Amino acid sequence: MPQIEIDGLVLNVDEDGFIEDPTIWNEEIAKALAKTEGVTELTEDHWKVVNYIRNYYLQYQIAPMIRKLCKDTGFSLKEIYELFPSGPAKGACKIAGLPKPTGCV
Amino acid sequence: MNAPQKAKDLAPLPYRILDDEEKVRKAVAIIREKAAESRMFKLAMECCTKCGACINACHSYLGTEDPYNIPTKRADLVRSVYKQEIMPLSGVLGKVAGGIGVSAELLEKWFTYFYQCNQCRRCALVCPFGIDTAEVSIMVRQILAELGMVPRFTVGIVKNMANTGNNMGIAKPALLDSCEFLEEEMYEETGIKIRIPVDEEADIMYVPSSADFFVNTNTMIGVAKMYHAAGIKWTIPSEIIEAANFGLFFDEKVMKEHNRRLLDCAKKLKAKKIVQGECGHGWRAARMYTDGLNGPVDVEIRHIHEEAAYFIARGIIKVDPEKNGDIVYTYHDPCNLARAGDIIEEPRFILRHVVKNFVEMTPNREENFCCGAGSGLLMEEIMETRMKLGKVKAEQVKKTGADYVVAPCSICKAQLPLVFEYYNLPVEMSGLMDLVGKAIIL
């Protein structure tokens, strides 16, 4: 199993760099994962998106529809891409500790 | 060479990872079996005269410029083994006749190149002997699966399908939440209560793509509005919100299991008609292989574009092309609709009614080029290859001068925006039902 080390934090990740065990997620891990997705600092806006995705995942075991994510957080898709350059599915979901969304996406 | 990552754990596939020696032995045994039972395979292996018609027909070769991606040359990776093992003079002529034995190294080459083939069938269209190299590709991926060589991405999808009935892994509570949200969205937009009924008994069982509940929400909305306007009772089955059937690409057992689930759900919901949503290969699998593998099938299997074209032609729904604006639209034929499922004129008929400006790309219909992700080549780790596979498509789109590409297949929908960005094409993209949804008069 691949491991990554960020600021002294060692994480077991899958081949795409998503944490292997979503249940170990915490804010420190989010901060570490953010660095792998080109997000140097998690601002309040970032947390709004990350926490929304995280809570949705805890309730439904899947990422929310992008459209719902935008509506419920008040960010446009463009703004989400500004916050997470690799996009909601890859960047934001990874930082929120979800498995990588798969399928035809 | 850029190959997908291989899965280290194959569950729930009924295969195991073999060591090199076992792999070689088993590969030879399977090739012997296939040669004995499949006329298609024999024809593909024995009839090619190297006329070269498939060379420039293949976007994979044109994009990668790798000779192993010439359809006949790719097939030679297997043909050489066939000649060595099956042809009567193999023991005598061996390499002279182009025969070589299987080795672990050769199997790696199979894995690389048969996962750079999009199984688009454009080579089959031009082959004077009717050799369908996509079928060879499907067969070789099947052999590779039995040797334990399957992409990690593909196994992940099979696992999600087994657990939840869709590729993304959406369980019923999430589906219900998503449907409720989309109903609210439609109410906000139209002031009308339009439903997306889940697991209700209905004549029509609609099978969306699970990606419609993540990124392509307007496709789902278009379908819901259409059935609402047509006044027809319909439902989606929570146990299979997946038109895609990845089994077609690499494993017959997976394909058959998907079909079984499809038919079981139709029975449970007392559906008379299964309507497949916007997915290319899934249409081929449902239409062409359900009866053969799981039949006899006593339910009608239709495509959503057949439904929409019928409703428009009969005046059952009304559409206003003004609502889709003045922009110029072009249409990308998903390979499995145009070369394997005869959904060619329906989408064009619909488009001419729902938009004002529609231009064809060249070539089109059954001659159209693949988006570059066909056969499930959506793995992130082969992005560089995917962009090369999408090169011809990008050139085609650029030449149309269109602002907007209509691509009614979830694989195309996942691939094309990345291709357009990579080749700096400022074009938008969506499915076709999305535009029906916008143009419809409620």
pLDDT per position as a tens digit, B304-328 = 999 999 999 999 999 999 999 999 9
Report pLDDT digits (tens) over A65-86.
999 999 999 999 999 999 999 9
Of B277, B387, B284, B386, the C-alpha closest to B335 is: B284
| pLDDT of B336 higher than 90 | yes
Contact (Cβ atoms closer than 8 angstroms) between residue B432 and residue B351: yes
pLDDT for B406 beyond 80: yes
Residues A1, A10, A104, A105: which is the catalytic one? A104
Render pLDDT for A21-55 as a digit per residue (tens, 0 to 9).
Answer: 999 999 999 999 999 999 999 999 999 999 999 99
Among residues B126, B147, B168, the one where a domain terminates is B147
Q: Are residues B352 and B264 in the same domain?
A: no
> Quick check: B98 pLDDT over 70?
no
- Look at chain A and report how many structural domains it folds into: 1
The pLDDT value recorded for residue B83 is 87
Residue A101, in any domain of the structure: no
B11 shares contact with chain A (CB less than 8 Å): no
As a whole number, the mean pLDDT across chain B is 96
CA distance B394 to B387: 9
Whether residue B422 lies inside any domain: the answer is yes
Window A:3-62, CB contacts with B under 8 Å = 15-16, 59-62
Same domain? B309 vs B342: no
The three-state secondary structure class of A90 is helix
- Region B3-12 average pLDDT: 96
Domain harbouring A8, CATH code: 1.10.10.370
* Same domain as B233, residue B379: no
Q: Considering B93, B121, B147, which residue would you say is the last residue of a domain?
A: B147
Q: Give the pLDDT mean for B24-45.
A: 94
Domain identity same for B358 and B437: yes
Predicted local confidence at residue B346, as pLDDT: 98
Does residue B15 lie in a domain region?
Answer: no
Would residue A103 count as lying in a domain? no
Asked if the structure places residue A28 within a domain, the reply is yes
In a domain, B277, yes or no: yes
Distance CA A73, CA B427 (A): 27
d(CA B382, CA B132) in angstroms, rounded, equals 25
- Kindly list the residues from chain A whose CB atom is less than 8 angstroms away from the CB atom of residue B166: 103
Strand partners, B274: B205, B301
pLDDT at position B100 over 90: no
Three-point CA angle B331, B248, B417, nearest 5°: 35
Which is nearest to B348 in space by CA: B226, B435, B414, B425?
Answer: B435
Do B269 and B212 share a structural domain? Answer: yes
B69 at A interface, C-beta within 8 A:
no
Look at residue B149 in the predicted model and tell me its pLDDT.
98
Are B184 and B279 found together in one domain?
A: yes
Last residue of a domain, one of B82, B114, B147: B147
A14 assigned to some structural domain: yes
Domain assignment present for residue B99? The answer is yes
User: Span B7-24, mean pLDDT?
Assistant: 96
Burial classification of residue B442, based on how many CB atoms lie within 10 Å of its CB (0-12 exposed, 13-18 middle, 19 or more buried): middle
In a domain, A102, yes or no: no
Nearest to B332 by CA among B232, B436, B271, B412: B412
| Test the A interface: residue of B215, B221, B242, B248 with most A CBs within 10 Å | B215
CA distance B73 to B81: 13
pLDDT, position A46: 98
B188 lies within 8 A of chain A by CB:
no
So what's the ipTM on this one?
Answer: 0.97
B49-53, B93-97, B192-196: least confidently modelled range:
B93-97
Tell me: do B323 and B300 sit in the same domain. no
Q: Give the model's confidence band at B2: pLDDT under 50 very low, under 70 low, under 90 confident, else very high.
A: confident
Distance, in Å, from the CA atom of A63 to the CA atom of B364, rounded to the nearest integer, reads 36
Enclosing domain of residue B369:
318-441
- Is-contact B129 B138, C-beta < 8 A? no
Task: Name the residue range of residue A34's domain.
Answer: 3-95
